[in-house]
Structures are given as structure tokens and as C-alpha cells.
Structure 1
Amino acid sequence: MKKALLALAVAGAAVSAQADVKLSGHVQTSFGDIEEFGQTVDTATGAVSNTNEESFSVNNTATSQSRFRITSSKEAGGITYGTNIEVGLREGGGTNLRTRKNEVTMAGSFGKVSIGHGSESSDGAVESSFSSTWVTWDDLSNYEVGYADLSTTTNEFGIYEVIDGNRTNRIRYDSPKIAGVLTFSGDIQDDDDLVFAARAGNSNFAGALYHLARDADNADEFGGSIAIKSGIFVASYGFAERDAANTPGTAVAAGGAVSGADESEAEYSVFNIGIETATYGLTLDMQNIELDNNRADNVAGEVSTVGLNFTYKPTSGVTLFADIHRIEADTTSVNAQLAGVNGVSGNGATAGARITF
């Protein structure tokens, strides 16, 4: 036993001599209940029928994602060299185990350079917030109701499943802080995609602006956010606008094909207000998406949500959360019209826990 312990100690010392290695992450689970309402018009007879569906699920939301990361760092000549490997886990295994980050970094007085798979410069730029309730509201696609039949019925959610970018293969540069509050960042990606962002903030203010240029589909996206904190009161506002050209496609209609959209536009906004203490957070949030000529079936419509979010932090590293939301979706897509779908609405409630390590 002593020899085994000695061997482990020697191995650990060898690793420590090479680089400082840290393990971190979190386990997050949630459950929720959805009640969904829809209205369909018989295209032949004009008869109106209403649908009502309710379902309960566990760990079937984007808010049920756990993460595990390994980071390392080594300093030499005034430069800190690092690595960052992070995986995301969802229930079911298989493709639900995915690489989130796999990158090397070099940081010094010149700023920071990141090479590999990691966050775009814009990632999170719409989500400036001093509230812990972001763990529940995050973005529109993370709602339990966003994963019900509502998303496939209206075809409205896909355009903004990823707001303000995500993670991809890129070379990214982050500037040193200017005046202690302002940083600039930019990255170049596959297909010559370019992303730029600026962030500023202190203990009571945070703001960000970004611009995405996607060469593959000639898409441009611009957005940002601002957040303030005064005592226990917190508020934030975020927005994004996306224009995408050259998105051809066809939607099959009765008697022939319907031409797809040549250009699509989308606008997103979120407003969040509430209170935040060391123990709990409570916020009201409102989100809205407006679409025009999106995707092949010419979606033009609007999706909006209003919700109440709550978090409780009994100790460091533990967050219990719950939320209730109301969602409304109206659509004028070709496919929806052919199916006689006028709109869908729903109520959703989720609860869960996040424990970090």
C-alpha cells in the first residue's frame, strides 16, 4: 500500500512539474411540465379544431446539461501557456457526449490568443446579467416549451437556437483590459467567417456589442446587451438582428413546389428585471423573436415569452432553480398554412439543480 501511495505521489509530482492542472465543472439536472395549445383550420371545410397536450419530462431540456473540464497552465518568459478541454453531457450517452472546448491558449501583456475549438468572440454578448437566474432563462431555445411540439409545429425556433454565436474552430484574440473595464476580441474561423466583439464592465455595470459575418450563407448578425446592478436590484436588456441572403429552398405544396426564401431576417430581444442577493435571485423576463422569410417555407411570424425565474443558493457551489413561462407563437409559413395551423401557445414550468465542483 505504501509503495502504491508513493508511486501516486511521484506521478502527481511529475504532472505538477509540467503544468498546473485543474479539474472543474458542474452537474445540472431539471424536470418540467408542459401544457400546449394549438388551433388548426381544416383547409377543405374551414372547420376549426383546438388541440391540448400536456407532458412531463425529466432531463429533457437544454437546461439539463452537465460539464466537465480539465485546464492546465505553465508560465515561461512572461507568457502563460494553457490548455482547456471541456465536454458536455446530457442523458442518454452516445451523441449526447460532445466536445465543447479543445484549445490551447497563450496569454501575456499583449492579451490572449486562443487556438482550437472554443467560444466565438461574440458568445454570451447578448446575455450580460448580474442575476443568477440566467441558469433558467438563458435564451429562448432553452425553455422546456421550446422543445415541445411547438418548435416543429411553427418552425420558428431554429433561427435563434444559437444567439450571439457559439463554439467553433477558430483563432481568437482578446486584448488586454483598457482602463480596467474595456476589452476587444475577434476571431477568424473556417470558411473565412469573422467575428468581433467589445465588452465593458465593473461591479455594477456590464455591456457588450458584437458582429458576426458568415461567408457560407452571406449572413450578418449584430447585437449586444447591457446590465446594471443597484443594491439588490438588477436589470438587463439584450438584442440581436440577423440578415441572411442566399438561402434557397423549396417547400412542397399541394399541386407543386413553392419557391423558398431568397433572404431572411430575424430580430431578437430580451428584457430581465428583478432582485439578486447572496442567497436567492428572482427575475421577470420577456423575450421576443420576429421573423421574415425565414427558411424554405417562407416563415414570417412572431414568438414571445414571459416568465418568472427563481434561484436559491443554500451554500457555495449549489444552485436550486425553478421557472414558469408562457409562450405565444403566430406563424404565416407556407407549410403551416397548408396544414391549417394558425398558431400555438403553451405554459411551461421547470425546476432543477446545479452543483459545481
Structure 2
Amino acid sequence: MKGSEADVCPDSAQRKIIHVDMDCFYAAIETRDFPHLTGQPIAVGGQPNKRGVVATCNYEARAFGVHSAMPMSQAIKKCPQLIIQPVRMAVYQQVSKGIQAIFKRYTDTIQPLSLDEAFLDVTGSVHHHGSATLIAQAIRHDIYQEHHLAASAGIAPNKFLAKIASDWNKPNGQFVVTPDAIDDFVRGLPVKNIYGVGKVTAEKMKGLGLNTCFDLQQLSLRQLQTHFGTFGGSLHRLCRGIDDRPVRTSSTRKSVSVEDTFLHDLPSIEACMPVVERLFDSLVTRHKKSMSKKQQDIKSLYVKVRFSDFKTTTAQTTHNKLSIERFKALIVKAWNRQQMPVRLLGLGIQYHDQATGQQELQFEE
């Protein structure tokens, strides 16, 4: 019987959560399928002359400063010998299904985050004498034996710590945070490791002299809320290693979006409008497809604009219906911040969280 959210959230100190994260997933599959690429810097994504971006890259490419979401034209400048492999999504999806099947041998309580990572709750598991550490080792062994791919894992009493721990011994390693080690583990964590802390918030924290979770612990809940609004509540919990969110087995979609990167920059706001209309039609189609699976209420509409200098801005409004006029107004608002040629436009919908009785983390940005 599959666990529900109600029965997979015991006392957080007793939970056993594993975060499995595949190492350079797309790039690793390319190297596996094309062995002559082994040891060479590889990026998976679009071609630089077509405004392509890096979907992922291997560690050899990262050594040159290449990273995900980087324009491929920049990646080539950083690493002239970079080998660009096209995205083979059907292959990656098939491999991901095989890895999901391995997870199901050990628990039914699985929350996929993407094709290459997932949370697993193994609390009360009978496998490997109930040892989450041994279960994680077994999962990683099975993935390597059956798919010839490396995975890293983090093991901890909650999702926040497990996700951080999975990065600790990358690649092809794992790290355990036991309940009695939480205080020491979080004390030295950089603030950038906290969910929701992006560049803007990190800079604000730096200006306040807040560099680690220990620094945040010195501020009261009220002080954190004064500086960071509703996000202060999440910061107060997470900087102490507290995270009560269950591993969710449901796959409720939180948002739907569409975007397009242009071969030639759009020179003006007027040139953007026909594209907004085209993207709106695509978004309506995706929204209807999402609704056919599960009815959800729209919470807000948002847009993304990336300018010719690669700076990106977003704008959002609370509205419960799809509206081309609202999207156009948001695009104008976003474009007016820089008034430069545009290389990418995106439109999106955020849905209301249908979960009941579960406090979600608040994001400041």
C-alpha cells in the first residue's frame, strides 16, 4: 500500500529521508552511449549559433567555468574544445523510468523532483535492517549495475538536510546527517544553501553580515521577518535544520510555463507583442492539458524577460483567469525596467497549492 502524506510524516527526528541525485545526468548518458567522449568536456544543449543554452555539462566542462543555463556561445568562449551534444530527451526519460523502478524496490514513498533526482522516505523500511545508509548504497549500486551511471545520495532526518547532504561527496558518493549531528552540520552552512536564498537575498544577507546558518541563528524570528518578510519564518526553521515537509507521493503541478529564445533579438516592446500572443496560445493549450489531469485554480500569472545583455527580470500579478491583456501589461512592466532588445520571453501560471494541513516553505524571491 502506498504511503499517504498523513502517514509518512512521523516525528522529524525519527524520519529517514534519502535524496538521490544523478551525477551530470544528461552528459553522463552521452558519455555512456558514446564512449569516445570519455574524459572530454561535454555540454548537452543547443548550438551557439541558434541561441542555444547549456542544459547540463560534465565535470571536465565545469572545470572551465561552464555551467547549466549558460548561453552556449559563452560556454564555447570559456572552453573552445567543448563538445556539444544535442538533447535526446526520449533517451533521458527512458533511463529515468528505469531508475524510478529501482527506487520502488525499496519504498513506495517517492517524490521525483525531475528526471535526475528524487526524495525517498525509507522510515520503517524492512530493507537492509532498516538502515537508510545501506539502502542508499544499494540504490546507487543498482543504478550503476543496471544503467552504468553514477548517483550521489544524502541521508538525513528531513528533506532540507538530505538535499544538501547529497552534494557533500559528489560525484558518486553519499553523506549522512544523523539526528545528533544536525546542530553541528547546519552551524557552518553558507546561507546560499538554504531553500529560496537566491542571489538577491544572499547579497542582502551579506550586507547584514549574515554568511552562515549560525549567523542567522543569532537573529530572532521577529528580526528575520523584519528583514525578509514572510520568508523570515522559513529562515528561522531552516537555519536550525528544522524541516517538517513530508515526502509527497502526489504529482500535483504547481505551475505551467512556456518560453522562447529568439535567433535575433526583438528590438522593441512593439515587436514583443505578437510573440506574447503566440506564447499565450501555447500556454492555454498546456493549461488545458494540465486541467485534463487534475482541476486546479489559478493563483497568479507571471512573465520572464531576458534582455540582450543576458540580464533577466520577472513580473507577476495575482489573477485567477488567463488573460492576454494581463500578460501584455506584465511584459510592458518588465521591459520598462531596462528598455533593451529582448532575447527571451516567457509566460507562466502559478496554481494554488491544494495540499491541506501542510505548511509550505516561503520563498522571498
TM range (shorter): under 0.3
User: TM-score, structure 2 length as denominator?
Assistant: 0.23
Q: Which has the larger radius of gyration?
A: 1
Structure number with higher strand proportion: 1
Structure number with higher helix proportion: 2
